[in-house]
């Protein structure tokens, strides 16, 4: 008999038919009631067995974590909280699970910190089952959003010779031996003996390559892994993460902000429409977590309420200068409660961003026109000579969630800015060619996928929304 997913049985609520179900035991009560889960949904299916007619050795092997293959009949359930259950007719043990060794016992309620240490098993918990089903839904929604708008999905390189951010925090890719690296006479590395015959790195962004595609296809997006060798051991940073990066010809900074807001609302709505059970579970988890915090640190809204609030309100749009003015007039600034100082020209810290969205405007905020000295070379310079057409979207709970800009399409301005920032124009000839041959205004942004998963799931640590987090000192699996 073909396997039926538990989600389909629980959603249909039909009874009186034969099924084959397979999954892992969550609990086993009174030698009679198995709570079975196969990962297709949050809820467990109750399977009822007859202990008098079941092999005694098999009964001992039905423990939390054990994998079973069960044939039986779906019947109406007399128990509260469930419409149907399965009356087992045959049970096959796929894999036993020794309760003495298994670290995921219901009575233990392991912490998120502990579960990060056993990330290969944490998928089996309710919390991480919900998180990764939501993550899947959001990824699908991203592709559906862009596909329905006529964008072309572009696969940009993971191994690259360019540093899109100009920050230099990149992982090097080489086949040269570490213990006997070939050197030139001046002591520099002789890359002629390396695989690519030049220095190569893992990409920090697909943006520059995506711009090349947009200059012919008009609307493109990337969605792939990116890497930062930044030694930041925080709840907001990963060394390997996924980025969504659209690039759109003929768009300006305002079109860019509109597209980003539309994308965020679309994928949040998709999760609310398709993963309600998971989100309500995560909302309850977050509410219990919030009770442990001091009153003044608790969120004013529950998780689902917050997501619906984002959907139903236009994002606030302000300039960087206006944002600095708001911060300098704020009580935390006047009472010296901010850890980092505030003045025009600073790169706003998370505490500043969160004040703007959580305390002042109380909704997501689009900040535009940042000082050019704190932004990348490719951003379009404004007429004031001090700012660029940059754009960040700040979200409650995590701060910056989107970063983008109108790109500098004027060859002379771009070349001048690259020279000012010591970015070699000779090596970037391919990027400058797009400004020589049929240049057009264009814009794009980057959305850190894990950041939006964090926002939608309410998880406080970014390491809990990616299956296998890569952080300083941690490269398991």
Give me the DSSP letters along 353-405: HHIIIIIIS-S-EEEEEEEGGGS-TTBPBPTTSSEEEEEEEEETTTEEEEEEE
Regarding whether 378 and 336 lie in a shared domain, the answer is yes
What is the model's pLDDT at position 476?
Answer: 87
Regarding whether 156 and 89 lie in a shared domain, the answer is no
Has residue 406 been placed in a domain? yes
- Give me the half-sphere count of Cα atoms (radius 13 Å) on the Cβ side of residue 427: 13
Has residue 71 been placed in a domain? yes
Nearest-angstrom CA–CA distance, 446 and 329: 30
Burial grade of 259 (CB within 10 A; 0-12, 13-18, 19 or more)? buried
Which residue's entry shows tokens 């920032």? Answer: 421
Q: Provide the residue range defining the domain that includes 54.
A: 6-102
> Is residue 164 pLDDT above 80, yes or no?
no
What is the model's pLDDT at position 106?
Answer: 64
We report the CATH number of the domain holding residue 327 as 3.30.930.10
Regarding whether 307 and 391 lie in a shared domain, the answer is yes
Has residue 233 been placed in a domain? yes
Regarding whether 22 and 131 lie in a shared domain, the answer is no
What is the model's pLDDT at position 167?
Answer: 57
Regarding whether 216 and 75 lie in a shared domain, the answer is no
What is the model's pLDDT at position 297?
Answer: 75
We report the CATH number of the domain holding residue 82 as 2.40.50.140
What is the model's pLDDT at position 107?
Answer: 64
**CA angle, 277 then 282 then 288, to 5°:** 130
Nearest-angstrom CA–CA distance, 381 and 370: 10
Has residue 474 been placed in a domain? no
Supply the pTM of this predicted model.
Answer: 0.94
* Strands annotated E in 127-251: 152-153, 159-160, 172-173, 200-202, 219-227, 240-249
Regarding whether 132 and 98 lie in a shared domain, the answer is no
- How far does Cα 63 stand from its chain's mean position? 34
> Is residue 282 pLDDT above 90, yes or no?
yes
Regarding whether 130 and 94 lie in a shared domain, the answer is no
Regarding whether 252 and 130 lie in a shared domain, the answer is yes
> Mean per-residue pLDDT for 191-214?
95
- Number of domains forming the structure of the chain: 2
Q: How confident is the model at residue 166 (pLDDT cuts 50, 70, 90)?
A: low
Regarding whether 413 and 352 lie in a shared domain, the answer is yes
Can you give the C-alpha Rg of the chain in angstroms? 27
Regarding whether 424 and 280 lie in a shared domain, the answer is yes
pLDDT higher at 477 or 385: 385
User: Torsions phi, psi of 40, nearest 5?
Assistant: -75, -20
> Mean per-residue pLDDT for 121-140?
97
Has residue 469 been placed in a domain? no
* 171-195 tens-digit pLDDT: 999 999 999 999 999 999 999 999 9
Nearest-angstrom CA–CA distance, 32 and 471: 44
List of residues 6+ apart from 161 with CB closer than 8 A: 196, 198, 199, 200, 201, 427
Residue 381, CA distances (Å) to 369, 405, 425, 446 in order: 9, 10, 18, 19
- What mean pLDDT is reported for the chain? 94
* 322-376 tens-digit pLDDT: 999 999 999 999 999 999 999 999 999 989 999 999 899 999 999 999 999 999 9
Nearest-angstrom CA–CA distance, 91 and 74: 15
Buried/exposed code over 19-32 (b: 16+ C-beta within 10 A; e: otherwise): bebbbbbbebeeee
* 78-121 tens-digit pLDDT: 988 889 999 999 999 999 999 999 998 766 678 999 999 999 99
What is the model's pLDDT at position 188?
Answer: 92
> Mean per-residue pLDDT for 395-416?
94
Nearest-angstrom CA–CA distance, 303 and 285: 10
Nearest-angstrom CA–CA distance, 459 and 450: 10
Nearest-angstrom CA–CA distance, 47 and 86: 5
Cα distance from N-terminal residue to C-terminal residue, the chain: 35
> Mean per-residue pLDDT for 211-222?
98
Regarding whether 159 and 84 lie in a shared domain, the answer is no
In this structure, what DSSP letter does residue 163 have?
A: -
- C-beta separation of 21 from 6 below 8 A: yes
For the ranges 8-22, 223-237, 240-254, 329-343, the lowest mean pLDDT is seen at 223-237
What is the model's pLDDT at position 168?
Answer: 60
**For a pLDDT cut of 70, what percent of the chain falls above it?**
98
Has residue 419 been placed in a domain? yes
Has residue 447 been placed in a domain? yes
Regarding whether 136 and 77 lie in a shared domain, the answer is no
**For a pLDDT cut of 90, what percent of the chain falls above it?**
87
- C-beta separation of 468 from 476 below 8 A: yes
What is the model's pLDDT at position 235?
Answer: 85
Has residue 181 been placed in a domain? no
């Amino acid at each position: 008999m073909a396997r039926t997913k538990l989600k389909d049985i629980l959603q249909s609520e039909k009874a009186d038919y034969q099924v084959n179900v397979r999954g892992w035991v969550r609990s086993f009560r009174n030698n009679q009631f198995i709570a079975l889960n196969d990962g297709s949904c949050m809820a467990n299916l109750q399977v009822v067995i007859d202990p008098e007619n079941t092999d005694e050795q098999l009964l001992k092997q039905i423990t939390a974590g054990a994998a079973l293959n069960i044939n039986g009949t779906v019947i109406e359930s007399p128990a509260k909280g469930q419409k149907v259950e399965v009356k087992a007719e045959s049970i096959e043990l796929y894999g036993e699970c020794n309760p003495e060794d298994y670290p995921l016992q219901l009575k233990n309620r392991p912490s998120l910190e502990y579960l990060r240490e056993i990330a290969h098993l944490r998928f089996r918990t309710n919390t991480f089952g919900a998180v990764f089903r939501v993550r899947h839904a959001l990824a699908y929604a991203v592709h559906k959003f862009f596909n329905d708008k006529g964008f072309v999905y572009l696969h940009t390189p993971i191994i690259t010779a360019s540093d899109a951010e100009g920050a230099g925090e990149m992982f090097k890719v080489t086949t040269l031996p570490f213990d006997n690296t070939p050197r030139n006479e001046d002591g520099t590395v002789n890359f002629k003996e390396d695989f690519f015959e030049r220095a190569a790195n893992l990409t920090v962004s697909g943006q520059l390559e995506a711009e090349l595609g947009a200059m012919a296809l008009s609307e493109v997006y990337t969605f792939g892994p990116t890497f930062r060798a930044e030694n930041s051991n925080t709840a907001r940073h990963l060394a390997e993460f996924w980025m969504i990066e659209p690039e759109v010809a003929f768009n300006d900074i305002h079109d860019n902000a509109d597209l980003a807001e539309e994308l965020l609302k679309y994928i949040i709505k998709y999760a609310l429409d398709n993963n309600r059970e998971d989100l309500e579970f995560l909302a309850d988890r977050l509410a219990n977590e919030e009770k442990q915090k001091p009153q003044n640190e608790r969120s004013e809204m529950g998780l689902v309420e917050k997501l619906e609030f984002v959907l139903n309100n236009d994002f606030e749009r302000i300039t960087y200068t206006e944002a600095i003015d708001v911060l300098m007039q704020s009580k935390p600034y006047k009472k010296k409660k901010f850890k980092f100082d505030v003045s025009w020209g600073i790169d706003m810290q998370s505490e500043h961003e969160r004040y703007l969205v959580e305390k002042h405007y109380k909704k997501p905020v689009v900040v535009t026109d940042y000082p050019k000295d704190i932004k990348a070379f490719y951003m379009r310079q404004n007429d004031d000579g001090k700012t660029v057409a940059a754009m960040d979207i700040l979200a409650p709970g995590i701060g910056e969630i989107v970063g983008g800009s109108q790109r500098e399409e004027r060859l002379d301005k771009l070349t001048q800015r690259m020279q000012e920032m010591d970015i070699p124009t000779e090596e970037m000839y391919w990027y400058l060619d797009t400004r020589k041959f049929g240049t057009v205004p264009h814009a794009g942004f980057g959305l850190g996928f894990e950041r939006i998963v964090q926002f939608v799931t309410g998880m406080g640590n970014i390491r809990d929304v990616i299956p296998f987090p890569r952080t300083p000192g941690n490269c398991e699996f």
